[in-house]
Amino acid sequence: MSGWPDWIDAPTRAGDLVAGLIGAAPGEVVVCDSTTVNLFKLVGAALDARGGGALVTDRDNFPTDRYVLEGIAAQRGLQLRQFDGEPDPATLPCGRGDVVVLSHVAYRTGTLADLAGLQAAARERGATLIWDLSHSAGAVPVDLNGAGAELAVGCTYKYLNAGSGAPAYLYVASALHANLRSPIWGWFGQREQFAMERPYDPEPSIRRFLAGTPPILGLAAVEEGARLTAQAGIAALQAKAIALTELIVALHDAWLAPLGFALAGPRDPGLRGSHVSLRHADAWQITCALIERAQVVPDFRGPDSVRLGVAPLYTRHADVWDAMDRLRGLVARGEHAGIDPAPARVT
């Protein structure tokens, strides 16, 4: 029995499941490639359809987003405008024809951006806004259609739990399908893919943003991750994320602040994703000590943050308590002091 009659629709089948988690309609999301490649495709498609103004993002945006924009700016001879501070609808520095890339939840501090407000600001100024939802899907509610969002990308291996290297997704509002075309012309985006002798003529649907053969094993994991997330329900998951991150903040204030820690992100849980960053002068050594000696796995995020991500589907309050207790103990005993301060290859 052949798998392909079933597998051929896996990118859109998984896409429809992800769509339900981010406020998109069926047929507006497809799962494929990495977030990086999907962002490259959408920025290119927007520039080709709408003419090239400047590229705009915030200096603190996730590195791959900034690199993709730097590369496209160099290839097309466009200006890349990077602004300081958190994105604010009142001051978003964009104009007609510009393409703006913003993260909904900031990867470093966990700060939640005003998606609807920023979308309205971009629309008013005639700019195209592309959202990166990598730290949002499965952790906080996202209403792309409700905000009138046009384009988005995101990964599936954070709060959607599809595992390292599982393919990412991209969203294109259905009204834009006819006008936007991927800059990568591949056979999986071709209308009647198996009528092979014809020149390129993309599918009218979201499938036009596919490029090559999809990773079937990873797609199966995305389908299951998205299904489990939908079953739990985004409202319940956000409530759990808030309870867990509030516990981190409370224990930080009680136990860690006296040891030289400071909260890097927002205090208001309504302005937070599902992770908390704690600043400390010895953040790198503390991160290593937590992994090596306490079986707690945070991320180090430069220059000075220990980032604690909690996956609301399976992280328990007791896990948070234990992690914070071990963190307090090892810093109080100075156990991190013996760790080599030279950064490692993966942080």
Tell how strand 305-309 and strand 275-279 pair up. antiparallel
Is there a catalytic annotation at residue 132? yes
Sheet holding 305-309, edge to edge: 262-263, 275-279, 305-309, 299-301
Query: Which one of 13, 33, 41, 62 is the catalytic residue?
Result: 62
Binding pattern for the stretch 313-332 against ligand PLP, x by CB under 6 A and - elsewhere = --------------------
Q: Using CB under 6 A, which residues numbered 63 to 102 contact ligand PLP? A: 64-65
Binding pattern for the stretch 117-156 against ligand PLP, x by CB under 6 A and - elsewhere = ---------------x-xx-------------------x-
Smallest separation, CB 115 to ligand PLP (Å) = 14
Q: Which stretch binds ligand PLP (CB under 6 A): 61-69, 239-247, 279-287, 326-334?
A: 61-69
Q: Which residue, 328, 275, 335, 330, is CA-closest to 305?
A: 275
Integer Cα distance of 76 and 93 in angstroms: 21
Q: Which residue, 81, 94, 96, 95, is CA-closest to 50?
A: 96
Smallest separation, CB 113 to ligand PLP (Å) = 12
Query: Which one of 40, 83, 107, 157 is the catalytic residue?
Result: 157
Residue 118 has φ and ψ, to the nearest 5°, of: -70, -35
Tell how strand 29-31 and strand 55-58 pair up. unpaired
Residue 125 near residue 92 (C-beta atoms within 8 A): yes
Structure token pair of residue 186: 């591949």
Is there a catalytic annotation at residue 13? no
Question: Is 36 an interacting residue with respect to ligand PLP (CB under 6 A)?
Answer: yes
Is the Cβ of residue 182 or residue 190 nearer to ligand PLP in the bound state?
182
Question: Is 35 an interacting residue with respect to ligand PLP (CB under 6 A)?
Answer: yes
Question: Is 34 an interacting residue with respect to ligand PLP (CB under 6 A)?
Answer: yes
Q: What positions carry a catalytic annotation?
A: 62, 132, 157-158, 307
